[in-house]
A and B are shown apart, each in its own frame.
Chain A
Amino acid sequence: MNTGAPVGIVLVSHSGPVATAVAELARGLAGGGTTAPVAAAGGTPDGGLGTSAELISAAAEEVDRGAGVAILVDLGSAVLTVKALLAEGDELPQGARLLDAPFVEGAVAALVAASAGADLDAVEAAASEAYQYRKE
């Protein structure tokens, strides 16, 4: 499905600064021009370490343009919370999807792809492919 609207990206980390910084990094590396919408949902609402369903829902709503929302997570409760919210049915926008991808590399790949007009499947493929890039 390509509606012309960009896929939105949500970055969920246990840490607010990590989520915000990875969003900035992805925007910077996605290069000039307009990028697809990306929002950070890091830490707890009071600024602590953890995962907040509230912040995740708000971030997903913020970046939803009707073409789907790709959610990237770091670990543990971030993964489980997004899965539980997806199972809930009405907590996240229609077309929200948890991507199986590395957090930093996947975020950059997803935003580059989404900004180039890729649909949700293609964004997911780009982000997951980041697992294949070895560093040895």
Chain B
Amino acid sequence: MTDQNGGPVLDTAFFRRWLAAMAAAVERAADRLTELDSAIGDADHGSNLQRGFRAVTTALEKDAPAAPGAVLTLAGRQLISTVGGASGPLYGTLLRRAGKALGDAAEVTQAELAEALRAGVAGVAQLGGAKAGDKTMLDALEPAAEALGTSFAAAAEAADRGALATVPLLARKGRASYLGERSIGHQDPGATSSALLITTLAATAEEAAR
């Protein structure tokens, strides 16, 4: 379904499809995420997100939230409660802040979503105390939220590029930071799953605009 400008209609069903697609993408990527995490983390990122997004899927089926904002807040809450690692409160805060920014509107514009995502990213930065270049989720999310002002495809590209760009970085947050220079040369698992969240959003938008 498209709006009058040919863009995707961003209604409740769209946000549910996005998160369902993310849950499926996490299932496919879980082993790779855990592998990345075993290089510089504690080898649980894939399985943690798997647990979290399975809970999101169940909650969305059970509660059927009635607005885009409510879909994101409910999902965020599930992630905080079920992930069991730092990515839970971080992704949970991302989605909850974004959901709150969207309010009760039954349908939102791409510009509103971009702004909500920026609010979510600011929440992640505040909670984790990280900034761009610290080899974290933010390295994918910040450029993606900015690029979403232009297009979904640009956001996906920016997120992927941001995740790849974490390879030469020195980790400054979380367990990976204890490794110091040995964290260099590995792609950050959190930035990788963040890119997955954004590319899934872009794919869902592309499908809706078809």
Q: Which residues of A contact B (CB under 8 A)?
A: 44, 48-54, 76-77, 80-81, 83-85, 87-88
A40 vs B85: C-alpha distance when bound (angstroms): 18
User: Given A51, A52, A76, which contacts B175 in the complex, CB threshold below 8 Å?
Assistant: A76
**Do B127 and A50 have beta carbons less than 8 Å apart?**
no
A48 vs B87: C-alpha distance when bound (angstroms): 16
B84 interface residue, CB < 8 Å from A? Answer: yes
User: Given B42, B84, B93, B175, which contacts A84 in the complex, CB threshold below 8 Å?
Assistant: B93
A44 vs B44: C-alpha distance when bound (angstroms): 13
A53 vs B84: C-alpha distance when bound (angstroms): 8
User: Given A50, A54, A87, which contacts B44 in the complex, CB threshold below 8 Å?
Assistant: A50
- Taking the closest CB of chain A, its distance from the CB of B25, in whole angstroms, is 22
Residue of A nearest to B84 (CB): A50
Q: A80-B90, A87-B93 are in contact. Are A50 and B85 (CB under 8 A)?
A: yes
**Do A77 and B89 have beta carbons less than 8 Å apart?**
yes
B174 interface residue, CB < 8 Å from A? Answer: yes
Q: Which of B70-90 contact A (CB under 8 A)?
A: 77, 80-82, 84-90
Q: Which residues of B contact A (CB under 8 A)?
A: 42, 44, 48, 77, 80-82, 84-90, 92-93, 96, 127-128, 174-175
26 A-B residue pairings within 8 Å (CB atoms): A50-B44, A50-B48, A50-B84, A51-B84, A51-B85, A52-B84, A53-B80, A53-B82, A53-B88, A54-B81, A76-B86, A76-B174, A76-B175, A77-B86, A80-B88, A80-B89, A80-B127, A81-B80, A81-B88, A81-B89, A84-B80, A84-B88, A84-B93, A84-B127, A88-B80, A88-B96
- Taking the closest CB of chain A, its distance from the CB of B128, in whole angstroms, is 7
**Do B88 and A77 have beta carbons less than 8 Å apart?**
yes
Residue of B nearest to A54 (CB): B81
Q: Which residues of B contact A80 (CB under 8 A)?
A: 86, 88-90, 127-128
A84 vs B93: C-alpha distance when bound (angstroms): 7
A71 vs B89: C-alpha distance when bound (angstroms): 17
